[in-house]
Amino acid sequence: MVLGLRDVFTAHSVLQGVIRRTPVFAVPDSTVYLKAENLQHTGSFKIRGAFTLLCDPAFRSGVVTASSGNHGSALAYAAAQQNIPACVVMPQDAPAVKVAGCRRHGAEVIFCGHTSSQRQQRAHDVARERKWAYAESYDHPRIIAGQGTVGLELVQQMRELGQVVCPMGGGGLISGIALVIKGLAPHVKVVGVEPKGAARMTFSLASGTPQVLTTVDTIADGLRVDKPGAWTFPLIQQLVDDVITVDDDDIRTAMHRLFYDHKLVVEPSGAATFAAFLAGHLNITSHTALIVSGGNIDASRLDQLVAPSGSSGENGSVSGKKESSEVEVVINEGRAEF
């Protein structure tokens, strides 16, 4: 199968009436904007790819997947919409809110290990035992096409778009977005962000071939993927302009600022792009969209990570250059429709 821009437009049509058209928030005193996929159904962008995938008749008898949580919850939601039985294999330390999300939509949850490879192997075993279909969480053309609809919305909502910054786990989201951006607006730069403790894409791109991490260590549970995908890696090689890393302290600061300054509940994975901005890792020379990919986090964990500290108070500077005690939020809903 050849994956192209037409596949993303097809996914966009399939998803009409299923997903939310998430808003874009302007960061005051800057040319930076936040694409709030944390406000999407099931709390993350994952519903886009999951629903698109399950439109394939091969999944009608039942579906099994491996997920740290967001994909599992999205798949459970999509499966429930189409009356398909679902099972999600999750890490043993999966956040309770993500486990509850899967179960709330009727999926069975099985716990296994801590790495993506461990849960993927268990999910494949379950799929064989039950004669159900295995659903990839990121490395499938339908998943990539569905996630690419985020890029279509951005092209509508930001007429002066010059750069898109996207968190990277397995690479499904950034692959889909890059496919759209380079197809419709090739002058726009696409940048990926991953945690230093799970920098599988950085190492893989440096070596020229997909690399498997022996350990992953980051608070960003949604980005604890130990290897790139067979579909996503070549797309990222070809279409993504740059990849940068952020540390967990940067992510904590970003979550704090998103919560207090922008009133957005964002999980660590979703805050990675804002972390890169606050830490000064991005070259902001034009209108830049930061993908805030998810907001599924336990209340106790959120309290722990965003608690005020001496290094990042509610009245701190958004960009590190200008103090501001007032928060202004501007929502750009976009005007054009496909």
| pLDDT tens digit sequence for 194-252 | 999 999 999 999 999 999 999 999 999 999 888 899 999 999 999 999 999 999 999 99
pLDDT at 321: 37
Q: Would you state the structure tokens that stand for residue 149, as one six-digit string?
A: 């609809």
Q: Would you state the structure tokens that stand for residue 43, as one six-digit string?
A: 């709390």
pLDDT at 171: 96
What architecture does CATH give domain 5-44+142-332?
3-Layer(aba) Sandwich (3.40)
Average pLDDT, the chain: 90
Q: Where are the domains of the chain?
A: 5-44+142-332, 47-139
Distance in angstroms (rounded) separating the CA atoms of residues 236 and 305: 31
| Lowest model confidence (mean pLDDT) among 40-54, 148-162, 314-328 | 314-328
Distance in angstroms (rounded) separating the CA atoms of residues 250 and 255: 9
- Establish whether domains 5-44+142-332 and 47-139 are of one fold: yes
Give Cβ neighbours of residue 33 (< 8 Å, ≥ 6 apart).
24, 25, 26, 27, 158, 287, 288, 289, 290, 332
Over its C-alpha atoms, the chain yields an Rg (Å, rounded) of 19
Residue 1 confidence class, pLDDT cut points 50, 70, 90 = low
pLDDT at 328: 35
- The predicted-structure confidence for 282-296, as pLDDT tens digits, reads as follows 999 999 999 999 999
Q: Are strands 24-26 and 287-292 parallel, antiparallel or unpaired?
A: unpaired
Average pLDDT, stretch 114-127? 90
Phi first, then psi, for residue 50 (nearest 5°) are -65, -45
pLDDT at 338: 32
pLDDT at 48: 98
Checking if the pLDDT of 309 tops 50, the result is: yes
Residue 308 confidence class, pLDDT cut points 50, 70, 90 = confident
Distance in angstroms (rounded) separating the CA atoms of residues 271 and 290: 9
Residue 307 confidence class, pLDDT cut points 50, 70, 90 = confident
What is the set of active-site residues? 46, 293
- The predicted-structure confidence for 29-56, as pLDDT tens digits, reads as follows 999 999 999 999 999 999 999 999 999 9
pLDDT at 68: 82
User: Are 79 and 107 in contact, with CB atoms under 8 Å apart?
Assistant: yes
Distance in angstroms (rounded) separating the CA atoms of residues 102 and 111: 12
Instruction: Tell me which fold the domain 47-139 belongs to.
Output: Rossmann fold (3.40.50)
Would you say the pTM of this structure is higher than 0.85? yes
3-state per-residue secondary structure call for the chain? CCCCHHHHHHHHHHCCCCCCCCCEEECCCCCEEEEEHHHCHHHECHHHHHHHHHCCHHHCCCEEEECCCHHHHHHHHHHHHCCCCEEEEECCCCCHHHHHHHHHCCCEEEECCCCHHHHHHHHHHHHHHHCCEEECCCCCHHHHHHHCHHHHHHHHHCCCEEEEEEECCCCHHHHHHHHHHHHHCCCCEEEEEEEHHHCHHHHHHHHCCCCCCCCCCCCCHHHCCCCCCCCHHHHHHHHCCEEEEECHHHHHHHHHHHHHHHCCCCCCHHHHHHHHHHCCCCCCCCEEEEEECECCCCHHHHHHHHCCECCECCCCCCCCCCCCCCCCCEEECCCCCC
Checking if the pLDDT of 193 tops 90, the result is: yes
Give the whole-number percent of the chain exceeding pLDDT 90.
Answer: 82
Higher local confidence (pLDDT), 95 or 338: 95
User: Are 257 and 320 in contact, with CB atoms under 8 Å apart?
Assistant: no
pLDDT at 329: 35
pLDDT at 74: 96
Distance in angstroms (rounded) separating the CA atoms of residues 204 and 211: 5
